[in-house]
Structure formats: structure tokens, C-alpha cells
Amino acid sequence: MSRKVIEFDGVGKQYVLGTFGTGTLSHDLNRWWARIRGKEDPYLKVGEVNDRTQKGDSRFVWALKDISFSVEQGDVVGIIGKNGAGKSTLLKILSRVTSPTVGTIKVKGRIASLLEVGTGFHPEMTGRENIYMNGSIMGMTRAEITRKLDEIVDFAGVEKYLDTPVKRYSSGMIVRLGFAIAAHLDPEILVVDEVLAVGDAEFQKKAIGKMHDVANGQGRTVLFVSHNMAAVKSLCKTGVILKNGTVDYIGEINSCIDRYIKVDSLSDSEQILDKLSFLKPYLHINKIKINGSSKTNSVIQSHQKYLNVRIEGETEQEIKTDVMLVFKNKDDIALMTYAVGHYKGEIKTLPKGEFVIEENISLPKILTRGSLFVDMFMHHPMIEFQMIAKKCCILECEGYQEDYGFALNQHDGGLIGLEHEQKSIDCLCK
């Protein structure tokens, strides 16, 4: 029976830019007086989201805000996000390097952490002395550490320099020794930050193999932070996406990575209209909405019945046209298509002037999780294309299977013809 070994409950970490404390004596006194009276910190009510791309007006910044999720025993969790999203801060709080400003963390078990290069090492002490010091910090006896010593040294490959002060080690040697200590001293929870990127390719492969053994063979819990999506995918089962200090998404690792790479990387200001690659000179498009949004990404909710498509524009001449959408996976393999005019001969006639085309597309009763990339066309089937917008939108599908719970992961192949619920055309002729 699985049990929770880590539980984050409303965890937040606030910083004041450029200062220690709150920056002024009056602010520090106000904070102290509120704490004495059992009141909320007055400066927790202010502060901005940690978006490094935007200039802020406040000196108070939330590096983490309202982080709430749990980790089961034996889970291997990948924590991903852009630089500055709060990943390292989260692991520092978990490892008790720093304390949360608000919220609580419940941990069951002994934690071994590998954070920044050199964390937990005394530079004047030898490698051997640092092994014993780190083990004692974790609550191990000297006899227990001695039994593991040869295994640690062999894995790290630093036997020649074992009695040399670590200040003379290269960054790669420090990482090798630090990881060997963290992985071999029998922690219930192993926390590893991006620091593995410092090591060479051989060591990275060796380290990931060891984490596999720790997680799968020994049933221990692993939290892994990395920008190497291949390593995260091979090691982890569950993913957590952090965005601007908040939890953006939690789910199965494949869908998590897909969302991070393909959806989260897009600019929130990017419009579908910006994706037009071809347009007839007589045709002018003013607005395109897919799934109720003019942005290049949106979410198909669980058990959503219809996908709405709306095109607003103007034509300088009468045209015959049909709206066609092709839904593809990340490998550019078509999964579904909507082209009623093409396979049923229902071609719309747009008179000269302003027009609005709106389609409500019936979604299938089974829709798998994953990202769908949308190609959109206006065309007179078998005659001409009037508008082309390739990969104009990414639909992140939550996935469902009616009457049976959640659907399976998305699979390649297959082409499904989608039916429409209704179509309407409003032509406003000048």
C-alpha cells in the first residue's frame, strides 16, 4: 500500500529584491509585531508573481506561491520549468537549506540532497572527511558510513584524491563525490538538482542508472530537476511543471513534457492570425478563434462535447469555400480531420462583403491525452486554397473515454472523420 512521504501544503517563499530582511527597520518591526500578536505577516499580502521577463513595480517577489501537491513512496517525480520558475527554491525548502515563508511541508524519511556544486562540502576538509560529515548530518553512525565508504569512492572515481582537500577538486569531481554520497547512504528520499549537467556524459549515464536502481530496485522516492527532457523522460513517471513560482501542471511524464515543450514555450501573446502563411489577395481575415481563443494554445477540457471554430473577415468577390482542419501529433502524423465540404460536398458560398463563419465540431466520445497540432485551411475542394495556416494552434487534450474513465495516452496513426453539429454563415454585405 502506497503512502505519502512528501506533502506540500500552500508553500510559498517571498523575497525582497536587493535587500536583507524587508529593507527597512520599520518594515522589520511591523513584521515582528505582527508575529508577536499572532497576526499574518503584513508583507505577505503584497508582492508580484516571479515573472523574470516583466519589469515589476514591487520589491516583494514570490519565488514560490501556493505550492500544494504530494509524493507517494517510490514515486520518481520530474520537476521541470524555465529558469527562474522556482524549481531549485522548492528543493532547497524540501532539503531545509531555507525555510518557507508560508505553508508547511510534511516529510517521512531521511532526505539526501544534491543541489548546487559544493553544497554540504567543507572546502578545507578532505574528500574522506566530507563523506563522514555528510553521513553524520543524515543521522548515520560512523560504522554505517565506513561500510559504504569503498562503494562511494569507487562510484565517484576519486580514490586517488580521497585525502585531498575538496577545494582542490574540479567542479566535476565535486559533483561525482556529492552524488555518490547522496545515492549510497541509504536515503528514503533522493533529491537531485540540475547539478548533474556539470558531469561528463559517462557519469550522467551512470548517475541516471543509479537513480533507476534507487527508485525501482529499492523502492525509494526520487525528485529530479533537469532541463534534459530525455533524462527526465527515461527516469521519471510523474511530472510537475512550475511556471512563475506556481504549479502549472501535474500529470504523467510524457504528457507533462509534451505540454512543457510545445505549449508552455509559446508566447501568451502569439495569435492564431500570426500563423497565416498564405492568403488570396481578395480575402482579408480579421480574427480567428479556435476553442474560444484567438491565442495559439488552449485546452480541450475533459468531456468537452464541441470544438468551436470562428473566422471573421471580408472578401472582395464572391467565393465558394470550405473550412478544413487537420489535427496532428508532435511527429506531424494526422490523427483527425474536419472537412465536411471535402467529403460531403457541402460548399459554402460567401458573397462579396464582410462574413463570419462559425463551426461547432463534434468531438469523439473517446479522446486521448496529449497535444494536437492544428492545420487550418479555407479552400474550394480540388480547385484552390484560399487560406493556409499550418500549426496555427496547439490543443492540449486532458483526455477522456465516456463511461469508462480516462482515456489511454495518445497513439500515432489513424485518421478520424469528425461530424459537425451545426454550421452557420452570417454575411454582412455592404
Q: What pLDDT shows up at residue 269? A: 56
Q: What pLDDT shows up at residue 407? A: 46
Q: What pLDDT shows up at residue 27? A: 63
Q: What pLDDT shows up at residue 414? A: 37
Select the CATH number that applies to the domain covering 71-264 from these four: 2.50.20.10, 3.40.50.1000, 3.40.50.300, 3.20.20.70.
3.40.50.300
Q: What pLDDT shows up at residue 354? A: 94
308 alpha carbon, distance to own chain's centre: 27
398 alpha carbon, distance to own chain's centre: 15
CATH 3.40.140.80 applies to domain 272-428: no
How does pLDDT run along the chain (430 residues), one tens digit per residue?
A: 458 889 999 898 887 654 445 455 666 667 667 677 776 665 555 444 455 444 444 566 788 888 999 998 888 899 988 878 888 889 888 888 888 888 899 988 888 777 766 667 888 899 899 888 888 877 778 888 898 888 888 888 888 888 999 888 887 888 888 888 877 877 788 888 776 665 666 777 777 777 777 777 677 888 888 877 777 887 888 999 988 888 888 888 888 887 787 655 454 558 899 899 999 999 999 999 999 889 888 888 777 889 999 999 999 999 999 999 999 887 788 888 998 887 787 788 999 999 999 999 998 877 777 788 999 999 998 889 999 999 999 888 877 655 444 444 444 333 444 656 655 545 554 4
Q: What pLDDT shows up at residue 276? A: 93
For the entire predicted model, the pTM comes to 0.54
Instruction: Give the domain ranges of the chain.
Output: 71-264, 272-428
Q: What pLDDT shows up at residue 263? A: 55
